Amino acid sequence: MQVHDFEKLWLGAALLLIVGFIATVTYGTVGAGVQMVDDSGGQIDPQAVQQSNTGTNFDNPGVVKQSDDHYVVYVVAQQFQFVPGTGDNPIRVPADTRITFKVTSADVMHGFSIVETNINTMVIPGQVAEVTAKFDETGTYGLVCHEYCGAAHHEMGGSIEVVEKSNYTYNGTEVQN
């Protein structure tokens, strides 16, 4: 089979581009430490989530302190609100601190994305999505459900208030683990 010289050159360049892409993504994962949402959150019964009967922190969702440098935020997504997050119940977390969001659904599929950040995950009934991030800047961030979840999907949003670490007051109980 005869392949024109220009075409060979193009083929080589195309392969180089492809290998380059794979290398940068691999670097992002291994070097820069951008972890993908994965199966680490485990499974949960959505009916139990709905009835606050899971025996986990999802029964009373909110911010749970693990240590001075690590907080976990449990969020239940349901038609058409985030608990906490929506309306006058924003999520409050400190800046410059490791924050792990654990999000699950009580009914249908939802999305969980924090505007102007790369915090972005699907929320699938039966699964717990887990994302860890650190907010460098204080301020109010928008929270959006980005997967269609029913007739009032467009009303499902919320906000996250990120405050100075020194000004942050934690009201809940500290959890040891």
Tokens standing for 97?
């601190």
Residue whose CB is less far from another protein, 65 or 84: 84
Q: How far apart are CA 14 and CA 17, in angstroms?
A: 5
Smallest separation (angstroms) from another protein to the CB of 104 = 8
Smallest separation (angstroms) from another protein to the CB of 144 = 5
Q: How far apart are CA 151 and CA 42, in angstroms?
A: 29
Contact yes or no for 135/162 (Cβ under 8 A) = yes
Residue whose CB is less far from another protein, 100 or 120: 120
174: helix, strand or coil: strand
- Chain-centroid distance of CA 141 in Å reads 13
Residue whose CB is less far from another protein, 41 or 61: 41
Tokens standing for 40?
């680490």
Residue whose CB is less far from another protein, 65 or 91: 91
Smallest separation (angstroms) from another protein to the CB of 134 = 14
Smallest separation (angstroms) from another protein to the CB of 65 = 23
Phi, psi for residue 113 in degrees, rounded to 5: -135, 140
